[in-house]
């Protein structure tokens, strides 16, 4: 049996209910779904195999502008690019304000440290380009069935 676990992170200005009066509505919400598969050595141990990350920017859209990224390799930076095939950067998708710290594209990656596996982010977002960077959530490396 495969196992998955959901993790959620919110920027400091994220609100459960949008500000319906004026822009900006909210901040950023990141949801990571970690997927596990049985180990060949022990079927009761489920090892982390991939993480699906959804980044939602609520700055100019009360419903959110979303991007999904499949993180399959650890230690590799993944660009945060809007999902539309015709969009090559955040500049051509005004509802999605996430961009790189030095312009370009925002990015994220999984990193293993002595304390475990973490989702690391580097981007700025929003009307006033707030910077966020660093480890935002610890991902469980393995799941043990009882």
H or E, element range at 57: strand 45-57
Least-confidence region, from 90-94, 114-118, 140-144: 90-94
pLDDT of residue 118: 96
**Per-domain boundaries in the chain:** 3-141
pTM of the complete model beyond 0.75: yes
Over 70: is that where the pLDDT of 83 sits? no
Least-confidence region, from 13-17, 57-61, 136-140, 141-145: 13-17
């Amino acid at each position: 049996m495969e196992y998955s676990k959901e993790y959620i992170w919110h920027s400091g200005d994220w609100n459960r209910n949008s500000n319906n009066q004026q822009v900006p509505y909210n901040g950023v919400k990141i949801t990571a779904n970690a997927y596990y598969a049985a180990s060949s050595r022990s079927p009761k141990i489920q090892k982390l195999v991939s993480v699906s990350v959804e980044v939602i920017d609520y700055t100019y859209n009360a419903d959110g502008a979303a991007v999904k990224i499949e993180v399959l390799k650890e230690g590799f930076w993944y660009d945060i690019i809007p999902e539309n095939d015709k969009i090559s950067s955040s500049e051509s998708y005004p509802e999605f304000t996430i961009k790189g710290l030095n312009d370009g594209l925002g990015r994220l990656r999984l990193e293993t440290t002595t304390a475990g596996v973490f989702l690391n982010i580097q981007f700025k977002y929003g009307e006033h380009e707030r910077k966020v960077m660093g480890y935002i959530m610890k991902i469980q490396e393995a799941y043990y069935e009882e």
